[in-house]
Amino acid sequence: MMITILDPALLNYNSYAQRYETSLSFDGHAVKIIAYYSQEGIKDEVNRALSEKVLRVLNLNEAVLTFCSAQLLATKNESWLEDEQAPFNEAQFKRAFHLYQIEYYLNEEITLFYQVGDLFWGHSVVVGLNSDYTFKYATLEG
């Protein structure tokens, strides 16, 4: 059974950028979805395929946050604390993360973008996933 979580009416193909674009609400925040396709396809098929991929990523969100914590929490506490600021624990660190964009590439790799408030002084956290949804990296950007 296929599950559609994206609104087909919001799925648009950008021929110049060769990608589909849409959005959804997750955890109370808007999430932009970008999926690169070399050509425009049948909208219903693309919507179903993207819905399945997005649902899989959203179901991984807690694992992604745990991965980010393992990769970046020590960095936050060692180098990014304000004067007199107490170190963050894992729960506090994870609460700051809000997914705002998911990008799917032609090679099937996925990039997730998280806003993290002032954890890293306005920088975003970017997480790379392989085509099999295993973690590649978590890094700061911006």
Whether 42 is in a domain gets the answer no
Instruction: Determine the Cα–Cα distance for residues 59 and 57; give it in Å rounded to an integer.
Output: 5
Whether 99 is in a domain gets the answer yes
Whether 97 is in a domain gets the answer yes
Summarised one tens digit per residue, pLDDT across range 57-108 is 999 999 999 999 999 999 999 999 999 999 999 999 999 999 999 999 999 9
Summarised one tens digit per residue, pLDDT across range 19-68 is 999 999 999 999 999 999 988 888 888 989 999 999 999 999 999 999 99
CB-neighbour burial class of residue 114 (10 A; exposed 0-12, middle 13-18, buried 19+)? buried
Whether 105 is in a domain gets the answer yes
Instruction: Determine the Cα–Cα distance for residues 110 and 127; give it in Å rounded to an integer.
Output: 8
Whether 14 is in a domain gets the answer no
Q: Which domain holds residue 137?
A: 22-36+62-141
Whole-model pTM? 0.93
Is 80 exceeded by the pLDDT of residue 3? no
Whether 106 is in a domain gets the answer yes
Number of domains into which the chain is organized: 1
Instruction: Determine the Cα–Cα distance for residues 129 and 132; give it in Å rounded to an integer.
Output: 8
Mean pLDDT of 121-131: 97
Whether 103 is in a domain gets the answer yes
What does residue 49 show for φ and ψ, rounded to 5 degrees?
-60, -45
Whether 94 is in a domain gets the answer yes
The CA–CA distances, whole Å, from 13 to 17, 46, 54, 107 equal 9, 10, 17, 18
Q: Is 101 helix (H, G, I), strand (E, B) or coil?
A: strand
